[in-house]
Structure 1
Amino acid sequence: MRLSFSASCKQKQLLVNFPGLNDMDPFITRRRKDKVVVVAGATGTGKSRLSIDLATRFPAEVVNSDKMQVYKGLDIVTNKVTEEECCGVPHHLLGIVDPNVDFTAADFRHHASLAVESIVRRGRLPIIAGGSNSYIKTLVKDDIDFQSKYECCFLWVDVSLPILQSFVSDRVDRMVEAGLVDEVRKLFNPKADYTSGIRRAIGVPEMDPFLRAELSSTANEETRAMILEAAIHEIKANTCKLARYQLQNILSLQNQFQCSMYRLDATEVFLKHGNQADEAWENLVAGPSTMIIGEFLYEDDFMAMAATPASPSVITAASVLGTATPAVAAATH
């Protein structure tokens, strides 16, 4: 199964029709704190897809919180969303940092705070999305100023670990087919430091033995092929290890933010293909998330709309609520 962004890009109108949805300023002025959505999950679970889905249904912009995707370059290695996949949704802190510079959690906190402030000031919803939970924790838990200004709703996209590990292993193969080796080769420097900057990204240090073998006159073609195969295997193993590590960190976040974190089980999506996978995504992830965020943002207005009969020509909160209730039950609080 390969996650597809095509369905969200076809979205032509806001899925939920709330009073003031296209102009959040009146809403912003009448509540205590501005609101922020955080989309968390292990690598490969569909965080980017969900954040873009939501940003096509609400007036929102995405703030990247992946510590490797903040860097310029290595778009294949770091799995950056493409311009087409962004569906016109503005993204912040994506591919902006010099690849040789260390971008720390403190740097992220500073720049993400500025991005969130800018988004809110323009009457839009910030959606923080990415797999670097240390970045998220530094911003939403350790920053007292951020806590005083913003109320957060956490969406956790979860996938059964064995299913996810199979998916990310297959994804590495697709990355290799898409040009991962050539991409890393262009960055290769025998004297490079793999403990700083973008060279820390999984897929870069693992390729070092192969790229050195290419420069060696003693390694024949068969030897180089074996070294490359071993490098790809190591990339897969390290990606699976990363997924387990991220899951542990998310469980820690869940303990800290129980009242505002919602788990969305996307496992079934990864067991299907094509249109069936897209339908499962909508029913189990995107649809419930839309309802959760609608209620989070609009509260009284949301419930009032849910009690009003839906117009056949407009997709309202009532019509979505009526069709999505079983799916919402799949999102555990």
Structure 2
Amino acid sequence: MILRLSRFINPASMSSLKPKGKKPIISIVGTTGVGKSQFSIDLAKRINGEIINADSMQVYKGLDIITNKHPVLEREGVPHHVIDYVDWTDEYFIHKFTQDANAAIEDIHKRDKVPIVVGGTHYYLQSLLFKNKTMDSTKVKERELTAEELSILDGPVDELFKTLKDVDPIIAEKFHPQDQRKLRRALEIWYTTGQKPSTIYHEQKIGELEESSLKYNTIVFWLYSEMTELSKRLDLRVDTMMQTGAVDEINNLYSSYKARGADCTSGIYQVIGFKEFLPWLEESSSSSSSSSSSSSSSSSLADKQGAVAKEERMKTKAFDSGVDRMKIRTRQYAKYQVKWIQKTLSLELEKEAKFNYENGGQLCILDATDLSQWDTSVRNRGLEIALKFLSGNNDFEMVPEKLQDLLANDAKHAKSNKNLNANTKWKHFTCELCTAKNGQPLVAVGEELWIEHLNSRRHRRAIAASKKRGHIEEMIKLKEAKRRDLELE
């Protein structure tokens, strides 16, 4: 029915559907590999839309396979913005994304089309949809950073945390001591505005009680797939990537990585699929370089030999381990994405209900578990909801009955709104038994995460190991005491 109806909609007349007030945007979220890009194309073709990328890795040039860019030939002529334009040598920060994405939205609106934001990186999306989520906008004019301040901002994370704690101990407790990106941004705000980030944060929270936090008239589609089914698709996708050019991209990225002396915590080198293959890359780089330097054959023969050598290197245990690590990391990331939508995004959007969704804010779930039902459960249902939203009609089912449990309930919503002064939730808790990735004692930010850690399998194992060590130490002491007693006799 929806497909037949949409044939009679003139894309050029979409402006007549749009309600008065803030201009509309559509956001599509969901796990990696769930079908967000395909749905965005389905939607854009029928509502005169254009796509805005919100994935922090897809802004970089090239690497189309490992960054999971939607193939150009499959975009069906739909324009894409904020994608494939940043050099590998550049780091891309959130304020630059917000600036570029807002400019794209404004341009699309001026041409009387509908912006469709797809993905992606969660703090990017928050900064774009909401007014006060990343402390990126203040009413105080910012000044240029000094050379000394830049040196501190680009310095070790331990120094960042120490400096931030000196100038604003309240906000320093909000962030993990190793969260370089957030620590850097908070300190940058202090340097450029002269205002403590904790003061700005508190003012923003008060503002949330008085008016909608959404910048645009927004509807959010969450494409959801049951995790067991999704995991199979993700594993298959990684295998397909390996067969269609991902290995060449990983090798090219490794060459840049070595030449620049970069690390895996910044820029394009954070992409899933690079760090996971580093052991294989390190293992194979020496052998491949030695074989190329000793080769004196013709160009065509050298190319053939290189292809054979590459194929042989892909048969090693190190390569197989890289594939396995990439699959595991991808599945872990998908679970993290679901958790963020449930515990953060849905709660923020639910707050819009008290403003009668004057700026939208509805979170609509589309069931993408069974791909054979895509046309009915995703494309047609999504289009029907989008058309109603654009016409100012909020009479639509947000969540299929069988997926009701996915959305936050009232109790969780109330919990998210208590403690306007959230400083009490920012206390750091240090576990002396468990170790973080950097080898230091594990730190949990906030009582909720601390309790979650105390109840975790990891912590229970650490307790058991500690007791075992204590028992062994006691046995050693007893044996040493007996030995001394025998010597005295």
TM-score range, shorter chain: 0.7 to 0.9
TM-score by length of 2: 0.54
Deviation string 1:171-227 (CA, Å, 9 cap, x unpaired) is: 100000112111111221333322221111001111221111112349996897010
Name the CA distance, whole Å, in 1 between partners of 2:226 and 2:17.
Answer: 38
Deviation at 1:17, TM superposition (A): 3.6
- 1:203 maps to what in 2? 273
Would the aligned equivalents of 2:11 and 2:46 in 1 still touch at CA under 8 Å?
no
Would you say 1:24 and 2:14 are equivalent positions? yes
* 2:390 aligned residue (271, 276, 297): 297
Which amino acid in structure 2 is aligned with residue 205 of structure 1? Answer: K
Would the aligned equivalents of 1:102 and 1:197 in 2 still touch at CA under 8 Å?
yes
Identity %: 32
**Structure 1 pair 58/27, CA: closer, same or farther in 2 (3 Å)?**
closer
Would the aligned equivalents of 1:214 and 1:224 in 2 still touch at CA under 8 Å?
no
Aligned runs of 1:74-223 on 2, under 5 Å? 74-143=63-132, 150-189=216-255, 190=258, 191-217=261-287
Deviation at 1:295, TM superposition (A): 0.4
Residue 287 of structure 1 aligns to a residue whose secondary structure is helix
Residue 370 of structure 2 aligns to a residue whose secondary structure is helix
Q: Which moved more, 1:142-151 or 1:51-60?
A: 142-151
Name the CA distance, whole Å, in 2 between partners of 1:299 and 1:66.
Answer: 29
Name the CA distance, whole Å, in 2 between partners of 1:255 and 1:32.
Answer: 24
Name the CA distance, whole Å, in 2 between partners of 1:230 and 1:294.
Answer: 47
Which amino acid in structure 2 is aligned with residue 226 of structure 1? Answer: K
* 1:287 aligned residue (380, 387, 397): 380
The structure carrying a bigger helix percent of its residues is 2
Which amino acid in structure 2 is aligned with residue 297 of structure 1? Answer: L
- 1:15 maps to what in 2? 6
Deviation at 1:22, TM superposition (A): 2.0
Structure number with higher relative contact order (C-alpha < 8 Å, ≥ 6 residues apart):
1
Would you say 1:253 and 2:345 are equivalent positions? yes
Aligned runs of 1:28-67 on 2, under 5 Å? 31-67=20-56
Deviation at 1:328, TM superposition (A): 7.3
Would the aligned equivalents of 1:264 and 1:331 in 2 still touch at CA under 8 Å?
no
Which amino acid in structure 2 is aligned with residue 242 of structure 1? Answer: Y
Residue 219 of structure 2 aligns to a residue whose secondary structure is strand
Name the CA distance, whole Å, in 2 between partners of 1:143 and 1:119.
Answer: 23
Which amino acid in structure 2 is aligned with residue 135 of structure 1? Answer: Y
Deviation at 1:16, TM superposition (A): 5.5
Residue 123 of structure 1 aligns to a residue whose secondary structure is coil
Deviation string 1:73-110 (CA, Å, 9 cap, x unpaired) is: 11110111111111000000111111222212222111
Name the CA distance, whole Å, in 2 between partners of 1:99 and 1:223.
Answer: 25
Residue 138 of structure 1 aligns to a residue whose secondary structure is helix
Deviation string 1:257-280 (CA, Å, 9 cap, x unpaired) is: 1351001111111xxxxxxx2xx1
- 1:242 maps to what in 2? 333
Name the CA distance, whole Å, in 1 between partners of 2:285 and 2:104.
Answer: 43
* 1:263 aligned residue (348, 361, 365): 365
Name the CA distance, whole Å, in 2 between partners of 1:59 and 1:217.
Answer: 53
Deviation string 1:27-85 (CA, Å, 9 cap, x unpaired) is: 55x60111110000010111101111000111110100111111111111011111111
Would the aligned equivalents of 1:45 and 1:158 in 2 still touch at CA under 8 Å?
yes
Deviation at 1:329, TM superposition (A): 6.9
Name the CA distance, whole Å, in 1 between partners of 2:24 and 2:12.
Answer: 16
Please list every run of 5 or more consecutive structure 2 residues that lacks an aligned counterpart in the other structure. 138-211, 291-308, 354-361, 408-489
* 2:319 aligned residue (219, 224, 228): 228
Would the aligned equivalents of 1:291 and 1:328 in 2 still touch at CA under 8 Å?
no
Would the aligned equivalents of 1:33 and 1:150 in 2 still touch at CA under 8 Å?
yes
Name the CA distance, whole Å, in 2 between partners of 1:193 and 1:174.
Answer: 27
Would the aligned equivalents of 1:14 and 1:57 in 2 still touch at CA under 8 Å?
no
Name the CA distance, whole Å, in 2 between partners of 1:81 and 1:222.
Answer: 28
Name the CA distance, whole Å, in 2 between partners of 1:231 and 1:262.
Answer: 36
Deviation string 1:302-322 (CA, Å, 9 cap, x unpaired) is: 99xxxxxxxxxxxxxxxxx9x
Deviation string 1:224-274 (CA, Å, 9 cap, x unpaired) is: 7010010111001110111011111111211211351001111111xxxxx
Name the CA distance, whole Å, in 2 between partners of 1:99 and 1:222.
Answer: 26
Please list every run of 5 or more consecutive structure 1 residues that lacks an aligned counterpart in the other structure. 1-10, 270-276, 304-320
Residue 317 of structure 2 aligns to a residue whose secondary structure is helix
Deviation at 1:14, TM superposition (A): 7.9
Name the CA distance, whole Å, in 2 between partners of 1:233 and 1:69.
Answer: 23
Which amino acid in structure 1 is aligned with residue 88 of structure 2? Answer: P
Residue 57 of structure 1 aligns to a residue whose secondary structure is helix
Which amino acid in structure 2 is aligned with residue 265 of structure 1? Answer: D
Give the superposed CA RMSD.
3.0
Which amino acid in structure 2 is aligned with residue 264 of structure 1? Answer: L
Would the aligned equivalents of 1:63 and 1:91 in 2 still touch at CA under 8 Å?
yes
Would the aligned equivalents of 1:64 and 1:94 in 2 still touch at CA under 8 Å?
yes
**Structure 1 pair 295/148, CA: closer, same or farther in 2 (3 Å)?**
same
Aligned length: 289
Residue 257 of structure 1 aligns to a residue whose secondary structure is helix
TM-score by length of 1: 0.78
Name the CA distance, whole Å, in 1 between partners of 2:318 and 2:383.
Answer: 46
